């Protein structure tokens, strides 16, 4: 499988010599990561740790990309842009958390939700309760205070309904 790192472009890479790091990963083998695209997670992911991650795309047509740990080669999670699946998706942070993370009154961040995959799309879920915010090279998994956020939100509720009816 070819995994292409995604450059979120938090600084102008064109102005400087592009620098790459090579990492050996369990899922994707050897990957070349643009240093400038590496995301620093000061607190890691909740319960998983890992302070440095990179986003990898394995399929240009897929809505899913991988958040690959660069500190633990065995950790990679599929993530997606929640706005592509949930028209009413919103992130609300508690005031203390927004302030703690320096996200209060800040420019909008890129938002991702982790995807728990299964053999059937109907069983895919996304964690809309703990989305991941990325801004200027820093990532935080936050607690979403917006109503409706759930740790297991079906990603394809239409498919799930069809399966239920067919069964």
- Contact residues toward another protein (CB under 8 A) are 1, 27, 42-43, 45-48, 58-59, 61-64, 75-78, 81, 83-85, 87, 100, 114-121, 127, 129-130, 141, 143, 151-152, 158
What string of DSSP letters covers 79-114? EE-GGGT-TT------HHHHHHTT-TTPPPPEEEEE
- The helix or strand, by DSSP H or E, that contains position 34, with its residue range, turns out to be strand 29-34
Smallest distance, another protein to C-beta of residue 19, A: 27
Q: Say which residue the tokens 């997670």 belong to.
A: 41
- CB nearer to another protein: give 33 or 76: 76
Minimum distance from residue 17 beta carbon to another protein (Å) = 30
Whole-angstrom distance, CA of residue 128 vs CA of residue 90: 9
Q: How far is the CB of 77 from another protein (least distance, A)?
A: 4
CA distances in angstroms from 111 to 57, 116, 128, 131, 135, listed in the order given:
16, 17, 10, 7, 9
Smallest separation, CB 134 to another protein (Å) = 15
Q: How many CB atoms lie within 10 A of CB 37?
A: 20
């Amino acid at each position: 499988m070819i995994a292409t790192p995604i450059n979120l472009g938090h600084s102008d890479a064109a102005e400087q010599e592009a620098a790459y790091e090579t990492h050996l990963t369990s899922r994707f083998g050897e990957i070349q990561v643009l240093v400038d695209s590496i995301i620093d997670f000061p607190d890691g992911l909740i319960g998983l740790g890992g302070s440095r991650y990179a986003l990898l795309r394995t399929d240009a047509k897929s809505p899913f990309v991988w958040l690959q740990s660069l500190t633990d080669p065995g950790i990679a999670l599929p993530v997606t842009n929640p706005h592509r699946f949930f028209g009413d998706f919103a992130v609300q942070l508690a005031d203390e958390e927004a302030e703690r993370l320096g996200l209060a009154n800040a420019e909008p961040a890129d938002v991702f939700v982790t995807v728990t995959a299964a053999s059937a799309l109907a069983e895919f879920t996304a964690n809309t309760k703990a989305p991941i915010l990325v801004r200027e090279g820093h990532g935080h998994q936050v607690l979403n205070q917006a109503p409706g956020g759930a740790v297991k939100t079906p990603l394809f509720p239409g498919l799930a309904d069809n399966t239920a009816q067919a069964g």
